[in-house]
Amino acid sequence: MNPDWKNIGFGYSKTDYNVRATFKDGKWSELEVTSSEYLTIHMAATCLHYGQEAFEGLKAYMGKDGQIRVFRWDENAKRMQSSARGIKMAEVPTELFHEAVIKAVSLNKKFVPPYGTGASLYIRPLLFGSGPEVGVKPAKEYTFLVFVTPVGPYFKEGFKPGNIMISRDFDRAAPHGTGNIKVGGNYAASLISLEKAHDLGYGTVLYLDSKERKYIDECGPANFFAIKGNSYITPESDSILPSITNKSLQALAADMGMKVEKRHIPVGELSEFDEAGACGTAAVISPIGKIVDPDTNTIYTFCKDGLPGPISTKLYHHLVDIQYGDEADKFGWVEIVK
Ligand code: PLP
Ligand code: COI
């Protein structure tokens, strides 16, 4: 196996093993290790009919010292528990989540991309209702699995400014809906607007709050942040996914002496920002070059010289340096896989 690590994209490729557990009669089984990429599933499983499904995304990084580091898995464990509660699934205990993540990485060490390539090992935990029901009700049985796959940048530009488009025709989540948990239905709801944006040459969609369409919500599969003077500004909303990357950037920004503002961001305020970006596990920091509002024919331009802004660049380096072990892990975010 000798992939072109520096040029791999964000996609699925087969690794050696994945790990699985099942919830039955009120308790979780031991983890099972398998090489199969397939599942045998009951045709009446609730995930297939009623969308009882949630997933997570985190990464493992190969350091210069040859050690593999997993970033903030405990936050993903908590978020998966919150997703489970949100759609009435059995929660995966933190210890089981941890064991599964570490085992899936350890068993697939040879797929962790080498240090210096910019690639990493994406870890995808998945939880779904696997028990049969025909009436609309929660399943009695659940399956939890974790697979891994080596990935490069999510947006083809990587750490270079990309352009995005405001969507007013579609919402990814309803007010008081499931936007704040990581369930598959939110992503299904985003597909038409995403494809529309891609067809028009944009990297992703900037969603507005679905109640009033006045405020910035989310940026495709990533959170939105902006820099204005010495402030790091990010939306406050009940319908966006609480991003672990965003939470980490807020801590780094505060540590750099910046003011962190979590609040409503009216669309018109975009013209006042010095820098803007999308952030997430897959997106890392993806700087935004232009935001186009097709309904008002407005173009908000950042990165006028075609380069990421200085604050986004500094935040990006702090974050990835901690993830790859090049900077001291002073917040205790990283676990080294033994
Ligand atoms: N928002 C959405 C809709 C996402 O799918 C993701 C990815 O997980 C994020 C934000 C970023 O969250 P995180 O930084 O925890 O990966
Ligand atoms: C992530 O950033 O981990 C995501 O889940 C984004 C996307 C691939 C769904």
What are the pLDDT digits (tens) for 254-269?
999 999 999 999 999 9
CA–CA distance, 251 with 236 (Å, rounded to integer): 16
- How many domains is the chain partitioned into structurally? 2
Domain that holds residue 215: 162-322
- Asked if residue 221 has its Cβ within 6 Å of ligand 2, the reply is yes
Can 247 be counted among the known catalytic residues?
no
Domain stops at, among 121, 151, 181: 151
Contact present, 316 and 284 (Cβ < 8 Å): yes
Instruction: Find the catalytic residue in 182, 211, 247, 290.
Output: 182
135 shares its domain with 186: no
* Within-domain flag for 181: yes
Residues 113, 11 share a domain: yes
- Same domain assignment for residues 249 and 194: yes
Q: Which residues of 189-203 are buried (b: 16+ CB within 10 A; e: fewer)?
A: bbeebbebbeeeebb
Clarify whether residues 315 and 228 are in a common domain. Answer: yes
Q: What whole-number distance in Å separates Cα of residue 184 and Cα of residue 313?
A: 32
CA of 218, nearest ligand number: 1
Pair (96, 171) in one structural domain? no
C-alpha angle 126-59-103 in degrees, rounded to nearest 5: 65
184 lines ligand 2 (CB under 6 A): no
pLDDT tens-digit readout, 182-230: 999 999 999 999 999 999 999 999 999 999 999 999 999 999 999 999 9
Q: Is residue 337 part of a domain?
A: no
Q: Using 50, 70 and 90 to split pLDDT, how confident is the model at 304?
A: confident
Residues 253 and 302 in one domain: yes
Q: Could you tell me which residues are beta bridge partners of residue 300? A: 291
Q: Is residue 305 part of a domain?
A: yes
Distance 279 CA to ligand 1 centre (A): 8
For 54, 166, 175, the CA distances from 178, given in Å and listed in that order, are: 11, 21, 8
The CATH number that applies at residue 170 is 3.20.10.10
Tokens standing for residue 318: 């702090």
CB 276 within 8 A of CB 219: no
Q: What is residue 1's predicted lDDT score, i.e. its pLDDT?
A: 60
Are 90 and 9 part of one and the same domain?
yes
Q: Is residue 142 part of a domain?
A: yes
Q: Is residue 336 part of a domain?
A: no
